[in-house]
Structure 1
C-alpha cells in the first residue's frame, strides 16, 4: 500500500506541485530568528547548460574584474519577484545575446542552507551571439564550444571554475541516455507559502 510520501514522490516526479496547506509529516519547533530574504540572507543562483545539434555547449567570457577573461556557463543571481525560469532566461540573454528556452532542471545544489544553485538545460531559440564588439558589464563575449574542449587544462579556454564540468557532464549524459531511461522533465512549480519545507528522500541503488 502506497504511503503519503510515495504518493508525493510520484506527484513530484510527474512535474506537479504539492499542496503545502496540510500538516507536515514532522512538525519541528522553530529555532532562532532566521528569515530568508533574497539577496540579503539567502542567495539563489541560476545557471544554464545550453547545447546545440553539434554537441557544443554555450560558454560566456567573464567581464568581472575578479575573473575577467575566464570562461563559464551563463549564470547569475535571481532577483526579487523573479521566477527561476525568468531569471535563467534573463541571464543567458544578458551574458550571451541568445534567447533561451529551458527544458528541465538538471541539478540543484545547496551550500550552508543559504546558497542555492539551480542549473537548467535547454536550447537557444533566437537572438545574436555576443561578440567582443558587444561586450559590457555582463560579459565580454560568448561562443559555442565543443564539449570535450571544456576541461581544467585548456589554455585556449581558461575556466573561472571547474565546477561547471560536472554540470555539463550531467546534461550530456542525460542527452546520451535512452529516452525511456531518462529522468522525467522537471520544471519549477509556483506555490506561495511561508513554510520551510524539509523532505528526506533515501534512494537505494541496485546497480
Structure 2
C-alpha cells in the first residue's frame, strides 16, 4: 500500500487584551521563536477542547474558544532533518480566563509575552510559522466564524472505543 499523506492537525489561539496579543516564546531547533499558544490535536478531543487545553498548558490561563478565525495549511521543511511536513491549523479567538500562577508552562515554553500587532509584524524572522502573522491579520480584519462549523462526532470523544 502506498504511503498516504496526512497533515498534522494543530490548534492556535488569538488572545487580545488592550490591543496586545498573548504569545509564547518557545525553544525550537532553530532557536527561540514566537508563536500563538498552539499545539497538536490529541486523540479523543475536539479542536475546541484542544485549543483550551493548549492555552492552559502553554500560558497557565483558562481559555474558552468562542469563534473560529480560520483553517490554514502550511508546508514546512525541518532544518535539521529535511522532513517535509504539512500543518492544518484551526485558529480560534475566545475569552481568556483565570491565570493559574502555580502551573508550570509546557516543556520548551520560555515565557509568555503581550505584543502589539506592529511589534509582531516587525519581527517575522522570530515567528515559528508564517501562520502567526496570517492568523493575526485575519483576526484584525474581523474574520470570525461560529465554532459550530466544526463538528466533532461523539465517536471521537467516546471512551474505550
Q: Same fold (TM over 0.5)?
A: yes
- Confirm or deny: 8 A CA contact 1:129 1:142 kept in the other structure: no
Q: Distance in 1 between matches of 2:117 and 2:49?
A: 26
Q: Secondary structure at the match of 2:9?
A: strand
Higher relative contact order (CA 8 A, sep 6+): 2
Q: CA RMSD of the aligned region, Å? A: 3.1
Are the aligned partners of 2:68 and 2:145 in contact in 1 as well (CA < 8 Å)? no
Residues 130 and 141 in structure 1, CA contact (< 8 A), matched pair in contact too? no
| TM-score with structure 1 setting the length | 0.58
User: Offset of 1:191 from its aligned partner?
Assistant: 2.7
8 Å contact from structure 1 (residues 96, 129) kept in 2: no
The Cα offsets for residues 113-147 of structure 1, whole Å up to 9 and x where unpaired, read as x642111111211124699xx55514111021122
Contact 2:70–2:144 at 8 Å: present in 1 too?
no
- When residues 130 and 91 of structure 1 are mapped into structure 2, their CA distance, relative to the original with a 3 A threshold, is farther
Q: Deviations over 1:9-45 (max 9, x none)?
A: xxxxxxxxxxxxxxxxxxxxxxx77778xxxx44211
CA distance in 1, matches of 2:3, 2:124: 43
For structure 1, list consecutive stretches of 5 or more residues without a partner in the other structure.
1-31, 175-181, 194-207
Question: Is the partner of 2:91 in helix, strand or coil?
Answer: strand
Answer yes or no: is the 8 Å Cα contact 1:57–1:144 preserved in 2: yes
Larger radius of gyration: 1
What's the counterpart of residue 136 of structure 2? Answer: 168
Unaligned stretches of 5+ in structure 2?
A: 76-85, 156-161
2: distance between equivalents of 1:170 and 1:129? 31
2:127 and 2:144 mapped to 1: Cα distance?
29
| Aligned 8 A contact 1:44 1:115 in 2 | yes
Alignment of 1:91 onto 2:80: no
Q: Paired residue for 1:119?
A: 91
Conserved? CA contact 1:95–1:138, under 8 Å: no
TM-score, length of structure 2 as denominator length: 0.73
* Secondary structure in 2 matching 1:69: strand
2:59–2:105 contact (8 Å) kept in structure 1: no
Q: Does 1:147 align with 2:117?
A: yes
Distance in 1 (alpha carbons) for counterparts of 2:8 and 2:144: 27
Residues 61 and 68 of structure 1 are in contact (CA less than 8 Å); yes or no, is this contact kept in structure 2?
no
Q: Distance in 1 between matches of 2:139 and 2:102?
A: 23
